[in-house]
Structure formats: C-alpha cells, structure tokens
Amino acid sequence: MPYTIRILLENLLRNEDGDRVTREQIQAVLGWGSRRSFAATVDVHPSRVFLHDTNGVPAFTDIAAMRDAMHVIGGDPAAVNPQIPSELVVDHSVIADVFGSSDAFGRNVELEYERNAERYRFLRWGQSSFCNFHIVPPGKGIMHQVNLERLARVVVHAEAGWAYPDLCVGTDSHTTMVNGVGVLGWGIGGIEAEAAMLGESLNMLLPPVVGVRLMGTLPDGSTATDLVLTITELLRGHGVVGKFVEFHGEGVRALSVPDRATIANMSPEFGSTCAYFPVDEETIRYLRFTGRMAEQVALVEAYAKAQCLWHRPESVADYTETIELDLGTVEPSLAGPHRPQDRVPLAETRRRFRAVLAETSPDADPDVALPPRPGGAGYELRHGAVGIAAITSCTNTSNPSVMVAAALVARNAARLGLRSKPWVKTTLSPGSRVVTDYLDAAGLTPFLEELGFHLTGYGCMTCIGASGPLVAEVQDAARNEELTVASVLSGNRNFAGRINPDVRQNYLASPPLVVAYAIAGTMDTDLLSDPLGHAPDGSPVFLGDVWPSPEEVARVMETAITPQMFTAAYRDVFEGDARWEGLEQEKGNRFGWDPESDYLRRPPFFDGMSSEPEPVEDIKGARVLVMLGDSTTTDHISPAGAIPANSPAGLYLRQRGVARSACNTYASRRGNHEVMVRGAFANVRLRNQLVPGVEGGYTASFAEDGGLRTVYDAAVAYRAAGIPLVVLGGALYGTGSSRDWAAKGPALLGVRAVLAESFERIHRSNLIGMGVLPLQYRPGQNARSLGLTGQEVFDIRGLADLVDSATVTVRADGREFDVIVRLDTDREREIYRHGGIMRLVLRRFQR
C-alpha cells in the first residue's frame, strides 16, 4: 500500500466503533486500489485541527453562537467545546503598510493591534473559555512554518500509552506543507474544521494515490522554487484533483526537509489533497536539528520503522498512477501572470509579459514611458513596472537555501553599487523568527536592507493580499493612466486581483529572483541576457555577476544556522508580547456580544432552527445571481483584500461611523457577517457573464428591471421578493484557498444551489456544509451547450429523493435536463438534509 493509505488504515482500525467507523470501511481500505474501493467512503478522525486567525475567528464565533443556541434550548453551553487539540496561529492580520525602513516591523505591528485588538480580545476569551485550544500569538511566524518547525508531532504519544500518526487537518489549504516532514495532513474549510473540533469525523472517499518518482539532483542555478513550479505545472497538467500524491525514489534523498516542505506546501496549486513525503533519515535529522525532544525523535524513528512507514526507495508501492521527474531537468523559472501552474522559463519572461499585455491591453505600448508626475519623484514608468517585490509566504521562507541565496544576491548587488528601483515596494515577511536570526548571524541583513528589504512582519502579508498600498506614483499611474503594473513574490498564489487591486500581472518566483526583479524594476526584460543594472562607473552588471554558487549557499547555512535558534524561537511559542498579554479579556462560558461592534457579530446560522430537520423541498422559481466561467476561485467568491470605501461593505461601515482609512481588510472582519455578506462576489476582477464588459461585484437584477446592481443589492431585492437564487459556474468552480466565507457568503445571500461543470474538493464540501447544493452538468454538457444565458427561471426537482437518486431534473424556461447531485457520500446527504454541518452538530450535542 502507499504510505498514506497505511496511515488511513491505522486510523480506522484504532477508531472502529461499529457506528461511524465500521468493519466495511476497513475492508474497503484493505481492498484499496480497485475501482470499487474508490467508490467507498471512510470516516477519518484527525489527531488535531490547525487554524489561523482569519478562519479561526469566524470558526469560534460560530462555536460561541452554538453555545448561545445551546443555552436557548436548555442545554449546557460548556458542553460545546473542542474535543481534540486545536491550535491557532495569528499570522493573517498584519499588513505591509510600512516598508523600506528600519521601523517597518514595529510600526506594522502597532497598526495590526490597533485594527485587530477586538478580534484578539475575542481569541483571548476563547483561549481561557475552551478546552483543548491553544493560540500562537502575533509575531511568532506563519502558521505552516510554525507547524513544520515546532508543532508537528509526526507521531503522537497520547495518554493511556497509545502512539499513532499525527493526522493534521487545517483551515488553510497549505496545511499540506507539513507533509514534508512525514505528517499526513490537508486543508479543510473552516466549516469542516468546526465539526472536526467538536468531535465529528471527516467523511471522505478513498482517494487514488499518484506516485511521483524523483531521480537525480537539482542542477547548479536551479532552486527549490524552480522545482516546485515545475512540479506544479507537471501535476496540474496530469490531473491530480481529489487524489493523494506521494513522492518516492532515490531523488527524495537529495532533498532536504525544507525542500520537501516547499513542494508539499504547493499541493493545492497542483490540485491534490496532499503531497506526502515518508519519514526517513533526513526527517529524523530535521526533527533533531529543530529542537524536538530526544524522546520524541526516538519515538518517531521507532514507530515509523515498526509500522512500515519508513521510506524505502527500493520498494515501490502499487500506486494508481506513476509519474517520473528527473531533478536534473529543472531550470530557473517563474509562474504567472495569473495562475501558479503557468510556469514560464526565466528566458521567456519578457516574451510572456508582452504577449499577455497585448492580449489584455491591446493599445498599451511597453516602449513608451509615462511622463513623470508633476511634483512627484521624477522617474518614468512603463508598462511592466514591478510595483511589488516581496519575499513572503511559508512556501519559500521556510527554506533556508533560497532565503540565504536571496541575501547573497542582495550582498553581491549592493557591493557592486546596485539598488532596487525607487518605484518598487520591497518587503521581507519571513515565516519565522529563525529566518531573521540566521540572516543576522550570517551578517547578511544589512545588505537586504540596503536594497529596501527591511523586515515588515512575521506573517503571510503580500501572498494573501495584505500588501498595503503601492508607491504613490505607481498607484496613481495604475488607476489613472491604466499602467499595467506587475508584482514578483515568493508566494504560492497569484490569482487575478489577489495580491493588490492595482496590480494586473503577478509572478511567483524564488526569493533570489525577487531581489533581482526589484533591482531591474520591470518585467519587460530578459534577466539572462540584459543587464540587471549598472554599477556607479556605468559598467553593466548581469544576473550571473551576483548569483551565488551552491557551495557558498551551503557554507553560509552550515555556519549561520544552529539548533539553538529553533529552541530559542519556540521556547515560549504560546506566550505573547506585552501587547498581547495586556489585552482585556472576558470570562465565562458565553461570549458577551457587543451590538456596536464592527468586527464581531453573533452569526445568524442558528436563527429559527428547529430541533429536527425540516423536509428537503424542491427549489422553485430561482434566478441566477451570477454566471461565471472556468477556474472561478474562492478569491473571486469570498470577500478578500482591503475593503473599498465605496463598496457595499465599505458603505455599511461608513454608515456606522467607521472612517474610510479604518475599513481594514475583509480578513480582519470575518467575524462580522454583515460585512462579509456584502463582500461576497465583490472581487474587483470578477467577470460575471450576466453583465458582459463589466469587472467587479456587479450583476443584472431580474427582481427589478434587469439593470446593473451590486451583487449584494440584487440579492437583497431577490430576498424581498421571496426568490431563491442559484449560481452558474464552469469547470473547477471554487479552486484556490479553502475560504469558508466562499460558501457562507453565498448562503447568506440566498444561494440555494451551484450548478457547475466540476468543483474543487474543499469548496464543494464547504457548500454542502452551509446547506448549498452542488450540482454538476453531465459529461460533455455545460451552460453554453445547453443554451443557458442566466436570464432563465430555474426549477430544480427531485430533491426529496436525494437519498435514492444521484441525479435531479433542472427546468429552465422550457429546457429540461438532468444534472448530477454532488452529494458523494451518505454523510454529505445527511449534512445537506440538516441544512448544514453546524446544525447537524448542534442537534447531536442537544441529544
């Protein structure tokens, strides 16, 4: 069996109870690999749940509201409590407002606390009120790097003497990063996470497992980032959605744990559920080096060997499919400008940039510069100007090899007199404090700072859209002169509109290439042949002149990084600074909701709930709220980024007396459903086919005159008229981050069903968790082939027979066709019947 299936088998054997986990499920796993086995479902019990503040706050507001509901129906509120260890890292709230100065970190932290003190006080209440709940306060690092370097057990040594694999699920799709150290884990939505915390198992189809055999070693000049972009392109092209991916072979031995974690982190980008590396000698060395207790390290090694979980390169499992990759073929690359799987060899980036510019802005001439702004900084800007160069995200900042390489590029460039261009916003957002410790120890921090890469914070920041404003001249040119601005970041996501609303092209790159593009200042260049810049004497400096050798990178790592750095950084991982400890916090089992709060409101998901589920009824007379194309991401659906002052959410806040400058981000206000519902389908790059030629959160309102309305205003009008809503989508609907508000928002807008060609795994599950029905066209059919325009009135019939039927009938203005009901398991059908997972769980607590 693949290693990952062995772990699932152990989980079922240990939790078999004859009710949720049955002997039939175990037999299905024993028969894994047959076509019949892939139709079987199993109930997996995670060992722990992992959250960040963006999803953690709404998860715990839901649980706090569940306690209120339990009180209303006469139960004990304290009974609603996490049943397994639940760990939350506060890393998604800091914004790169201040950059390029020695006080950037301190000022950004101050702004973070000013904006988020209310949310943090709520988390502090949860920390004292809930059992099995621990918080890593702000400023400690990015959740996945903290998980990798400190929290991951690999093997759990539980009470009563049990030892078993650490099966971790998290509210961020990049929870898979911990696969690099031998932990089986994957991302789930915040809605699923709430249920898992409250003791519910995760019901899932037994997955196929794709084996990726690695051979050889990386060539000089290629980085782990180049490798992961190559793998992302390879596996997205092969098709691994809904599958486990498992790496094996002699080439695995050539990869450090940080290299493996860089690959595993990008699992959502190539579409798999996980990207697993089995335990081996390198895993043990890493655990020891990062300061794990000697007893724990010994347990991991002994357990892995005893349970056949130790990697043996010569032994190949019976994988569903096998792919081979020779590491020696990897070349320097970027990915972009809109998707992480769109790899671009470094030699072709200029051509690619110009091709995309011609497609999106046919009248734009990259050879013509905009004149300097009167009273401005005095420099010219051209299309392709790099507005953001960010060393950010867990994907790469967990990896010392690329971080040291970036610092050496900065050192070599600074010594030759090169600097970043003045229009580039340069930021350094490491995944943990260990990064700055070893850069300081190597004496490389001053060179990064000479190029403007000052520490801006320990958080996700730019990669999740918390990039802050651009340099003023660049921002004005983007907004008023339609300048096509680019970003280069060492992140994992570059979807349209994600990084910054004023940036139209976004490229993922290794940290040393981020530094190089900050110096070049433009995407309209060939870094392999054009000068990177010019020395003070006018002589050209090329990329090869500043690029470090692998031997130099290895030498710096060997001398600058010590186990004591990890021990010191994580000694007090659950303790905050004076600001955190000084926050006022409530006491008691129930939270005292403030009716004047703009950050925390009691969610309405339990309002009017009956003790028993109502019968499922057909959907009649529904209208289409939005009609979307292929690869619609959760970034398009979910409220994300800064809250525009003139958006429905911004207007709501301003009407409540919030200043324009204090609107903050949607991520920070996820605990306020009034804000979030107004931000659903409000992405500035959304293309709704009901209103062709219009970008942003607008639609045609057929409840009124068919005219242009914001999506929120149209939904309000439909609700007033008693009209249910549906969404029409294309292929891979809901790809991207596992944002729970991508399901909660549509549900609160009144969306009853989503009809698409296919769904990304986590988002489909989240829709069901909110009582929204996912429906899929039959193979070969879609909205276009069926002649749907989105202006029809829809009836969806046969919902009462969902238990016995895999299809239902859709009638749209005289057209009638069957669609597949994507309730794939009995468990999912049960959740839908209850109106969502939270209502199901509360009804169980009630009993």
CATH number of 619-638+680-846: 3.20.19.10
pTM of the model: 0.85
Distance CA 742, CA 254 (A): 39
What confidence tens digit (pLDDT) does each residue in 133-170 have?
999 999 899 999 999 999 999 999 987 889 999 999 99
* pLDDT given at position 804: 60
* pLDDT given at position 436: 96
* pLDDT given at position 274: 97
The number of beta carbons lying within 10 Å of the beta carbon of residue 522 is: 20
The number of beta carbons lying within 10 Å of the beta carbon of residue 450 is: 17
Q: Tokens 């080439």, residue?
A: 251
29: tokens are: 């796993």
What confidence tens digit (pLDDT) does each residue in 757-773 have?
999 877 898 899 999 99
DSSP reduced 3-state for 336: coil
CATH number of 207-331: 3.40.1060.10
Distance CA 428, CA 456 (A): 6
Distance CA 177, CA 111 (A): 29
Question: What's the CATH fold of domain 333-569?
Answer: Aconitase; domain 3 (3.30.499)
Q: How far is CA 282 from CA 181, 254, 297, 310, 612, in A?
A: 9, 10, 12, 11, 53
What confidence tens digit (pLDDT) does each residue in 233-247 have?
999 999 998 899 999
Classify residue 354 by burial, with Cβ atoms within 10 Å: 0-12, 13-18, 19+.
middle
* pLDDT given at position 803: 61
For residues 175 and 187, the answer to whether their CB atoms sit within 8 Å is: yes
* pLDDT given at position 284: 98
189: tokens are: 């939505």
What confidence tens digit (pLDDT) does each residue in 762-810 have?
789 889 999 999 999 999 999 999 999 999 999 999 998 776 668 999 9
In this prediction, residues 14-31 reach a mean pLDDT of 94
**Please, how many CA atoms are within 13 Å of residue 793, restricted to the half-sphere of its CB?**
8
In this prediction, residues 407-419 reach a mean pLDDT of 98
Res. 378 pLDDT band, cuts 50 70 90:
confident
Distance CA 66, CA 604 (A): 10
* pLDDT given at position 272: 95
Question: Taking the domains of the chain in order of start, what are their residue ranges?
Answer: 207-331, 333-569, 619-638+680-846
What confidence tens digit (pLDDT) does each residue in 288-315 have?
999 999 999 999 999 999 999 999 998 8
What confidence tens digit (pLDDT) does each residue in 567-606 have?
999 999 999 989 999 998 888 899 999 989 999 999 999 8
Q: Which residue, 502, 512, 435, is CA-closest to 469?
A: 502
Res. 13 pLDDT band, cuts 50 70 90:
very high
pLDDT above 80: residue 198: yes
Q: Which residue, 823, 639, 632, is CA-closest to 736?
A: 632
Distance CA 634, CA 746 (A): 11
What confidence tens digit (pLDDT) does each residue in 457-512 have?
998 888 877 899 999 999 999 999 999 999 999 988 888 778 898 999 999 999 99
Q: Using a CB cutoff of 8 Å and minimum separation of 24, what contacts does 712-716 make?
A: 712/648, 712/677, 712/678, 712/680, 712/682, 712/749, 713/648, 714/625, 715/625, 715/749, 715/750
In this prediction, residues 323-327 reach a mean pLDDT of 97
Residue type, 129: S
Distance CA 688, CA 266 (A): 29
In this prediction, residues 634-643 reach a mean pLDDT of 86
Q: Which residues of 270-294 are buried (b: 16+ CB within 10 A; e: fewer)?
A: bbbbbbbbbbbebbbebbbbbbbee
* pLDDT given at position 641: 77
In this prediction, residues 648-658 reach a mean pLDDT of 95
* pLDDT given at position 827: 82
Distance CA 200, CA 190 (A): 13
**Please, how many CA atoms are within 13 Å of residue 778, restricted to the half-sphere of its CB?**
11
Res. 753 pLDDT band, cuts 50 70 90:
very high
781: tokens are: 């059919």
The pLDDT mean for the chain works out to 93
Percent of the chain scored above 70 by pLDDT? Answer: 99
Biggest alpha carbon–alpha carbon distance for the chain:
81
DSSP reduced 3-state for 520: helix
Q: Which residues of 469-508 are buried (b: 16+ CB within 10 A; e: fewer)?
A: ebbebbbbbbeeeebbbbbbbbbbbbbbbbbbbbbbbbbb
